[in-house]
């Protein structure tokens, strides 16, 4: 569904983490947010999820002003933040972790959702009775994504979903986002993995020091050498090295 953030600012003490960001994601669109470390990507996603308070600005979702809505009420409206650290409840089983994601749904819907998630990530079915603590990093990432899907999200806020994943795991997760979610679920994607983001995005924007300094459509994303040159420039504006990732 349609997300609009207008003039959003977030401050942490003296730190201006976000400064007047205006950004919108239309229903079903994948919008990538690029930016160096500390440029405000996570802060933006968390502000939309209601996990950090905004100091000014306005967020509307599906026409409703949600700026002051507590996080759990945003979850009830289908807004799910998927954290970059694959945080799962380690002592709960894989199955219980998934059930937490579907806690607002009727039992029949939850069973249906579980079937689908296990279809998408069979390993979660195989390890359903095991504590989530035994999962590898890649499997935990599948679990956090699966848990979000259990809630029937209409807006997914992905915070670096490919961070630290092996190529193999990345290739298992990418098609799920590209196939199952694309076009159905609105997605904001903060990502340093340019190759993965470029495969998914409809539009992109670039944050530098908490400000949105550039945005463009899919056809405007530079490719090959130009991509690296362009992003090196953006990262340098923030006084950072660009991430050393291959352009896969």
Ligand X SMILES: Nc1ncnc2c1ncn2[C@@H]1O[C@H](COP(=O)(O)OP(=O)(O)OP(=O)(O)O)[C@@H](O)[C@H]1O
Binding residues (CB under 6 A) for ligand X: these are 12, 15, 17, 35, 37-43
Least distance in angstroms from the C-beta of 105 to ligand X? 30
Size of site (CB under 5 A) for Mg ion: 2
Select from 19, 39, 42, 154 the one that contacts Mg ion (CB under 5 A).
42
> 138 is in the binding site of which of ligand X, Mg ion, none (Cβ under 5 to 8 A by kind)?
none
What DSSP state is assigned to residue 45? H
Indicate the pairing of strand 203-208 with strand 30-35: parallel
Instruction: State which residue, 42 or 185, has the beta carbon closest to ligand X.
Output: 42
Q: Sheet holding 155-159: strands in order across?
A: 79-82, 155-159, 186-190, 30-35, 203-208, 211-217
Instruction: State which residue, 39 or 186, has the beta carbon closest to ligand X.
Output: 39
> 15 is in the binding site of which of Mg ion, ligand X, none (Cβ under 5 to 8 A by kind)?
ligand X
Closest by Cα among 120, 99, 232 to 181:
120
Evaluate whether 139 touches 89 at the Cβ level (below 8 Å): no
Least distance in angstroms from the C-beta of 232 to ligand X? 16
Instruction: State which residue, 105 or 245, has the beta carbon closest to ligand X.
Output: 245
Strand partners, 79: 155
Instruction: State which residue, 70 or 179, has the beta carbon closest to ligand X.
Output: 70
Q: Token pair of 239, please?
A: 């006084």
* H or E segment and range at residue 202: none
Backbone angles phi, psi at 85, to 5 degrees: -115, 20
Determine the interface stretch with Mg ion among 42-50, 54-62, 200-208, 236-244 (rule: CB under 5 A): 42-50
Instruction: State which residue, 39 or 141, has the beta carbon closest to ligand X.
Output: 39
Least distance in angstroms from the C-beta of 43 to Mg ion? 8
Strand partners, 190: 33, 159
Closest by Cα among 1, 60, 55, 8 to 205:
8
- Is 186 a binding residue for Mg ion by CB under 5 A? The answer is no
> 17 is in the binding site of which of ligand X, Mg ion, none (Cβ under 5 to 8 A by kind)?
ligand X
Least distance in angstroms from the C-beta of 166 to ligand X? 20
Instruction: State which residue, 99 or 159, has the beta carbon closest to ligand X.
Output: 159
- Is 43 a binding residue for Mg ion by CB under 5 A? The answer is no
Question: Would you call 15 helix, strand, or coil by DSSP?
Answer: strand
Closest by Cα among 40, 29, 15 to 207:
40
Q: How far is CA 61 from CA 3, 45, 239, in A?
A: 5, 14, 34
| Interface with Mg ion (CB under 5 A) | 41-42
């Amino acid at each position: 569904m349609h997300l609009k953030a207008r003039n959003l600012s977030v401050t942490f003490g003296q730190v201006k983490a976000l400064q007047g960001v205006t950004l919108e994601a239309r229903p079903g669109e994948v919008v990538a947010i690029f930016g160096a470390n500390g440029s405000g990507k996570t802060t933006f996603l968390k502000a939309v999820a209601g996990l950090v308070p905004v100091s000014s600005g306005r967020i509307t979702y599906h026409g409703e002003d949600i700026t002051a809505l507590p996080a759990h009420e945003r979850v009830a409206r289908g807004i799910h933040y998927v954290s970059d650290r694959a945080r799962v409840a380690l002592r709960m089983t894989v199955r219980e972790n998934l059930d937490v994601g579907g806690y607002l749904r009727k039992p029949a819907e939850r069973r249906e959702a579980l079937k689908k998630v296990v279809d998408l990530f069979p390993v979660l079915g195989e390890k359903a009775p095991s504590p989530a603590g035994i999962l590898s990093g890649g499997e935990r990432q599948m679990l956090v994504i699966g848990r979000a899907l259990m809630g029937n999200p209409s807006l997914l806020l992905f915070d670096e979903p490919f961070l630290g994943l092996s190529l193999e795991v990345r290739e298992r997760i990418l098609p799920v986002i590209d196939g199952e979610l694309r076009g159905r679920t609105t997605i904001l994607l903060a990502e340093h993995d340019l190759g993965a983001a470029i495969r998914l995005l409809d539009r992109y924007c670039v944050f530098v020091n908490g400000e949105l300094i550039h945005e463009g459509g899919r056809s405007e994303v530079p490719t090959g050498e130009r991509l690296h040159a362009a992003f090196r420039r953006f990262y340098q504006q923030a006084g950072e090295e660009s991430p050393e990732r291959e352009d896969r």
